[in-house]
Amino acid sequence: MPENLTNKQLRLAAKLIEERYGIHFESNRLCELEKLLNTIASYLNYESTEQLFLRLFSNDLDQLQEEAIITSLTINVSYFFREPENLDFFEKQLSNLVSTNSDRQISIWSAGCCCGQEPYTIAMLCKRHMKLNQLRLMASDENEQLIRVARSGIFSPWSFRKAPPQYIENCFTRLSNGMYKIHEEFLDSVEFFTFRLDKDLFPDHEAGLIDFDFIFFRNVLNQFSSGQIEQIIGKFWQCLKPGGYLILGEEEANIHSVKGFSRNNQIPAGVFRREKSKDFVSHKTGRFANFSTNLKKLLQKDGNEKSQEIKPTAETVSSSFLKTKPAEAAEIPEFDQAFLLELFSQKKYAEVLSILNEQNQNSLDHNALYLKARCEFQLNHLSEALESIDRAIRLFRSKADYHYFKGLIQFEQNKLDECQKSLQLVLYLDENHLPAHLSLISVLRKTGKLNEARKFINLAFLLINKLDENARIDFPQGQTVNQVKSILMDLLKKSA
């Protein structure tokens, strides 16, 4: 049996492991670290744990030893086909999605993927039901060393201790040194990247961290504080499609912070399904309403008129004015948000802004920042409003309404080129965003881009024709669909 290390050696080992692998052991976990090192030493056939300790410090480890150390220190149970009950449930839901639409892309994120056993397991299961080119499989870990091992696709026999033999035979090639390398089709199917869930920004549309069908986040909660867990799971909620699944470890089924998700007796322990959000009511008041009082005049201005005489309608921000996202870190509880919205509806913008400014600014979520930006906009503090909405966008980049509101601020600042880019980004995120189409028509006509404006007039017609003719829409305020059609028809005649 390997002999024990001294307390000084354990402290030195903990420091080295944190520096090299980014895995932190508190002083009260040194006994746990000692047991892990004893197990690793036995597995690697060292005569003593001290011998392993010396090899660690000399950094004289081959890949087999490195993988065994990293895997054991991170979770101590990292292997292929871990927790089969959850994987069976995943495979059943995957089959249902694919059978409904065989051409559908399936999007999955393995967050905290360690050395890659989990995402490669997912890829192998997906291969049974779909073509791998229909799979968007992302895998992240905060440790670059672990990602390097994962990208190599090379694993020791230790990683297969629970794997069905047919997968080892059909999906791996045995190397001369006794290691196994996964086949290239699976290697190419996973996008590995380093990512810190407690520090880095997500959801992130540009990075593809959005619209997932499944997020795997298994057996890594013990690496985070309760506050971090609540914040991370709240962001996972945003990253999932409605009805998507968050899959935690089987022993993590009863954690208190899984808000915004539902489960029932037919779902295995640790699996949670995303619920839909609850929208706050939009209050259409003040400066926003003023912008929408004369849309026909605004849209029909000739391109050579002064820009301040043409104003896109700010009230075109859709009814999802504020959404409560479960488990998000915010200083303002839900009941206080409702109170602030009531103040906003009473046009008490300075009072709302004062309350928001008294909060810890680093803890304001995107909803609160959006409200802050709207108050600043109403008070004509345009630079501050732009800064606040930019902060909201950094927290939730895929929110079309936020980019739309940014475009309105830029229009007020006479930054028409930047306004156009913001509106075009809105349409990239939501091609059916009618207010953005109509506002973009105004901006393009103002800047003399009449041919391009005509294209968006036609697109707006396509959207309008899907609506009931007598329906009233948010943009323009109080106008019926028929009235908007009339405006667009006039514009087409002018640009003919």
Q: Mean of the pLDDT values across residues 206-230?
A: 85
Kindly report the average pLDDT of the chain as a whole number: 79
User: Is residue 67 domain-resident?
Assistant: no
CB 351 within 8 A of CB 378: no
Domain's final residue, options 231, 249, 276:
276
Residue 124 CB contacts under 8 Å (≥ 6 apart), including other chains: 167, 171, 186
- Say yes or no: 272 and 367 in one domain: no
Tell me the two tokens of residue 373.
Answer: 């930006």
Domain's final residue, options 276, 298, 323:
276
Highest mean pLDDT: which of 253-262, 392-401, 457-466? 392-401
pLDDT value at residue 317? 38
- Say yes or no: 238 and 305 in one domain: no
Q: What is the 3-state secondary structure (H, E, C) of the chain?
A: CCCCCCHHHHHHHHHHHHHHHCCCCCHHHHHHHHHHHHHHHHHCCCCCHHHHHHHHHHCCCCHHHHHHHHHHHHCCCCCCCCCHHHHHHHHHHHHHHHHHCCCCCEEEEEECCCCCHHHHHHHHHHHCCCCHHHEEEEEEECCHHHHHHHHHCEECHHHHCCCCHHHHHHHEEECCCCCEEECHHHHCCEEEEECCCCCCCCCECCCCECCEEEEEECCCHHHCCHHHHHHHHHHHHHHEEEEEEEEECHHHCCCCCCCCEECCCCCCCCEEEECCCEECCCCCCHHHHHHCCCHHHHHCCCCCCCHHHCCCCHHHCCCCCCEECCCCCCCCCHHHHHHHHHHHHCCCHHHHHHHHHCCCHHHCCHHHHHHHHHHHHHCCCHHHHHHHHHHHHHHCCCCHHHHHHHHHHHHHCCCHHHHHHHHHHHHHHCCCCHHHHHHHHHHHHHCCCHHHHHHHHHHHHHHHCCCCCCCECCCCCCCEHHHHHHHHHHHHHHHC
Which range has the worst mean pLDDT, 228-232, 329-333, 371-375, 455-459?
A: 329-333
User: Is residue 16 domain-resident?
Assistant: yes
Domain of residue 468, CATH code: 1.25.40.10
Q: Is the pLDDT of residue 476 over 60?
A: no
Q: Is the pLDDT of residue 407 over 50?
A: yes
- Say yes or no: 311 and 228 in one domain: no
d(CA 394, CA 214): 23
- In tens, the pLDDT along 156-175 reads 887 898 899 999 999 999 99
- Say yes or no: 41 and 159 in one domain: no
Q: Is the pLDDT of residue 128 over 70?
A: yes
- Say yes or no: 308 and 353 in one domain: yes
Q: Is the pLDDT of residue 227 over 60?
A: yes
Q: Mean of the pLDDT values across residues 360-376?
A: 86
- In tens, the pLDDT along 230-266 reads 888 888 998 999 899 999 988 776 665 567 788 777 8
Confidence of residue 388 (pLDDT cuts 50, 70, 90): very high
pLDDT value at residue 167? 96
d(CA 273, CA 261): 5
User: Is residue 487 domain-resident?
Assistant: yes
- Say yes or no: 50 and 94 in one domain: no
pLDDT value at residue 114? 86
User: Is residue 79 domain-resident?
Assistant: no
Q: Is the pLDDT of residue 126 over 90?
A: yes
Domain of residue 145, CATH code: 3.40.50.150
- Say yes or no: 272 and 291 in one domain: no
Confidence of residue 335 (pLDDT cuts 50, 70, 90): very low
Domain containing 56 equals 7-61
Q: Is the pLDDT of residue 310 over 60?
A: no
pLDDT value at residue 90? 97
- Residue 226's CB is within 10 A of a number of other CB atoms, namely 11
Q: Is the pLDDT of residue 82 over 90?
A: yes
- Say yes or no: 50 and 110 in one domain: no
Domain's final residue, options 276, 294, 313:
276
User: Is residue 418 domain-resident?
Assistant: yes
Q: What percent of the chain has pLDDT over 70?
A: 79
User: Is residue 78 domain-resident?
Assistant: no
Q: Is the pLDDT of residue 85 over 80?
A: yes
User: When comparing pLDDT for 109 and 478, which is higher?
Assistant: 109
Domain count across the chain: 3
User: Is residue 345 domain-resident?
Assistant: yes
- Say yes or no: 105 and 220 in one domain: yes
User: Is residue 342 domain-resident?
Assistant: yes
Q: What percent of the chain has pLDDT over 90?
A: 29
Q: Is the pLDDT of residue 483 over 90?
A: no
pLDDT value at residue 396? 82
- Say yes or no: 256 and 128 in one domain: yes
Q: Is the pLDDT of residue 130 over 80?
A: yes
pLDDT value at residue 253? 67
**Among candidates 87, 67, 32, 29, which has minimal Cα distance to 218?**
87
Highest mean pLDDT: which of 34-48, 331-345, 370-384? 370-384
d(CA 334, CA 326): 10
- Say yes or no: 241 and 351 in one domain: no
- Say yes or no: 192 and 125 in one domain: yes
